[in-house]
């Protein structure tokens, strides 16, 4: 199971084993990692699972859909590495993935 490191805005780190096929959002929510709200439950419809993907991994994740791009427009503090974590599927290539949480989800 790939290990994913979630870093809260405060800097607090959580390392979690996330099964392949889950989304990065599910890996946080189902393991009680705070900082990801996921109000819509993973439908790419609310932008409350915003994370900033570490530079080293951004190239290993398939690109954003139009819907994700549009929904990310809603989120504050968006950076070029911003993604909706419900849209990132966990694969073996993402072993060691690091994602950072914004100050708040909107």
Indicate which single residue of 5, 14, 34, 37 sits in contact with other proteins (rule: CB under 8 A).
37
Residue 44 contacts other proteins per CB under 8 A: yes
Q: Is 71 in the site for other proteins (CB under 8 A)?
A: yes
CB 23 within 8 Å of CB 86: yes
In the chain, which ranges are continuous DSSP H helix? 24-29, 55-58, 66-72
State the Cα angle at 20 between 18 and 22, rounded to 5°: 70
Residue 36 touching other proteins (CB under 8 A): no
Whose Cβ is closer to other proteins: residue 19's or residue 76's? 76
Q: Smaller CB distance to other proteins: residue 37 or 91? A: 37
| Closest-CA residue to 16 (of 92, 96, 77, 83) | 96
Enumerate binding residues for other proteins (CB under 8 A): 37, 39-41, 43-47, 67, 70-71, 73-74, 76, 103-104, 106
């Amino acid at each position: 199971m790939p290990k994913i490191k979630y870093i809260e805005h405060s800097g607090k780190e959580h390392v979690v084993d996330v099964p392949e096929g889950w989304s990065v959002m599910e890996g946080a929510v189902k393991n009680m990692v705070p900082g990801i709200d996921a109000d819509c439950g993973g439908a790419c419809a609310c932008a409350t699972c915003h994370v900033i993907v570490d530079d080293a991994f951004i190239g290993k994740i398939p690109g954003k859909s139009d819907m994700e791009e549009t929904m990310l427009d809603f989120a504050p503090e968006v950076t070029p590495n911003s993604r909706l974590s419900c849209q990132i599927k966990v694969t073996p290539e993402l072993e060691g993935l690091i994602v950072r949480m914004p100050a708040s989800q909107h």
